[in-house]
Amino acid sequence: MSQVVKCVPNFSEGRNADVVQALVRVVRSVPGVALLDETMDPDHHRAVLTFAGRPYAVAEVAFQMARVASQLIDLRSHHGEHPRVGATDVMPFVPIRGVSMQDCVQLARMVGQRIGNELKIPVFLYEQAASRPERKQLEWIRKGGLNGLADRMGSDPAWAPDFGPKHLHQTAGATVVGARWPLIAFNVNLKSQDLSIAKAIAKVVRQSSGGLPFVKAIGVELKSHSLVQVSMNLTNHEETPLHVVLAAVQREAAVHGVEVAGTEIVGLVPEQALMETAQQALCLNQFDGRQVLEARLDSSESREAIGRLAASKPGKDHFQPAAKAAAPEVKITDSQGLTGGSVGALSAAFAAGLGIMVAKLTRARAVETRLSEIRTRLHELAQADRDAYARVLQAKKLPLNHPDRPLQLSSNLLGAIETPLEIVKLSCELIPLLRGLSAHAKPELHPDLTMGLRLADAVIDGCLGMVDENMKIQPNQLLIASIRERFSVAEQMLVDEKSLCYTPPFDSWPQNMLNILKLR
């Protein structure tokens, strides 16, 4: 499973489209990251961009966006309805797939340290990354706005920033960086221009005032629409769904003799949250998410069946049972385009294929399924490594004095480092799977498993060497330090395997990695 992290930075600019597009261009300049959504609101004077991708690629984009924002946004001339303390006001990292909350905390710390050290902007860590209990909630850091934060920083040593100078940046203010679970930004517009009503309703529904759990709310004025709004963040839609929040706002609005003019969702929303609301609104009984057409088509069973059907020839082959479907064939026509990482990924894929063959014969269905998933991902990584190598070569061809060369080299090297690391991780997983099959396999199958184990061993050794060499030319030193931490995790995986008394010649293979791990 590939690793995916989401980042949702909020910028104090909602009226100048050129500034927002400059930030968008940063996202699109780094491989391994996809822009998912962009919104800007002139009343809030705020832009929210959502992007996701490989962890370190996302971290690089986040830092570069903070750099661009500090150059283009001047808080001294900023006036908007939304609370803020910085040009890049808040920057949360959210775990999506194949990463833990702790991974996102590490990313937040790495990016926060770069912003503080390189951009000279004070950084406060919040939510799951918070260094102090009083900084966990974003609203506590924003209390009193920019002036309130400046006063606390100047008078209370406990409010020294986690990174960067102990005073606000002249134009960019401060930045709040953290890690959190997914939330929904949900706003309810009211048919009124009375801001006191919106604030009164917000006070009733928000958790901090005794209202709904996991709801944060403020009242703001939308001058361009001649309306007021209850602006909310739902931090746990499973405990407090959208329809419950809307109903609460509607009830309170009715008390004040005001109607709801409409609602809006800022940014992206989990599919499950909309399904919960639809189920309630339509009074559906026993509704199952698998009844959603797109979800059913996107299931692994459907993708496999549709892919098999598309690849087969017309005629009776369309109805060939799934168990007899041929395994994907890996074709290597020549050495052009091959890289060490791609050969490693294909070699590990062959090792997984040998395990799949044995698993089929021994009816180890769960092992067969996991080995098939690993093999599929390794095929993808083979191409990913070729692409990463090509991008590194392209960056190296830029003139040494080219202004974009450091960024291009750093971001493109991310793929050349992360891809072999993922190949190592999957190869480490292959070893116990293959070894476990030997306990139930017939003696004539043991040579196949031994060959698979030897392949996995060679791939681990080779790919770690490639990562080590690529880190020598990686200009981002904080990134290198973070990758070393991931190295230590892989090291423990190898040591754990060694402790299980793996038979020769594999009893000494972790030493290869221990040598590579030595800090240079």
Rounded to an integer, what distance in angstroms lies between the CA atom of residue 299 and that of residue 450?
Answer: 34
Give the relative orientation of helices 242-255 and 195-205 as an angle to the nearest 10 degrees.
130
**Torsion angle, alpha carbons of 42, 46, 50, 56, to 10:** 150
Contact present, 34 and 53 (Cβ < 8 Å): yes
For the question of residue 82 being annotated catalytic, the response is yes
- Of 400, 421, 415, nearest to 468 by C-alpha is 421
Rounded to an integer, what distance in angstroms lies between the CA atom of residue 516 and that of residue 460?
Answer: 11
Rounded to an integer, what distance in angstroms lies between the CA atom of residue 369 and that of residue 215?
Answer: 41
Rounded to an integer, what distance in angstroms lies between the CA atom of residue 259 and that of residue 207?
Answer: 23
Question: 213 φ, ψ to 5°?
Answer: -60, 145
Beta bridge partners of 94: 6
Helix (H, G, I), strand (E, B) or coil at 27: helix
Tokens linked to 229: 């709004």
3-state secondary structure 196-246: HHHHHHHHHHCHHHCCCCCEEEEEEEEHHHCEEEEEEEECCCCCCCHHHHH
What is the sign of the dihedral through the CA atoms of 100, 27, 477 and 90? negative
Give the single-character DSSP code of 440: T
Q: Which amino acid is at 337?
A: G
Rounded to an integer, what distance in angstroms lies between the CA atom of residue 189 and that of residue 170?
Answer: 35
Contact present, 197 and 260 (Cβ < 8 Å): no
CA angle 15, 16, 18 (to 5 degrees): 150
Rounded to an integer, what distance in angstroms lies between the CA atom of residue 93 and that of residue 182?
Answer: 9
| Alpha helices in 284-364, H assignment, sequence order | 293-297, 300-311, 340-362
CA angle 292, 298, 301 (to 5 degrees): 110
Helix (H, G, I), strand (E, B) or coil at 6: strand
Other Cβ atoms less than 10 A from the Cβ of 235: the count is: 18
The one catalytic residue in 44, 78, 79, 82 is 82
Q: Which amino acid is at 120?
A: K
CA angle 263, 269, 54 (to 5 degrees): 150
Tokens linked to 307: 């892919």
Other Cβ atoms less than 10 A from the Cβ of 366: the count is: 9
Which residues participate in catalysis according to the annotation? 82
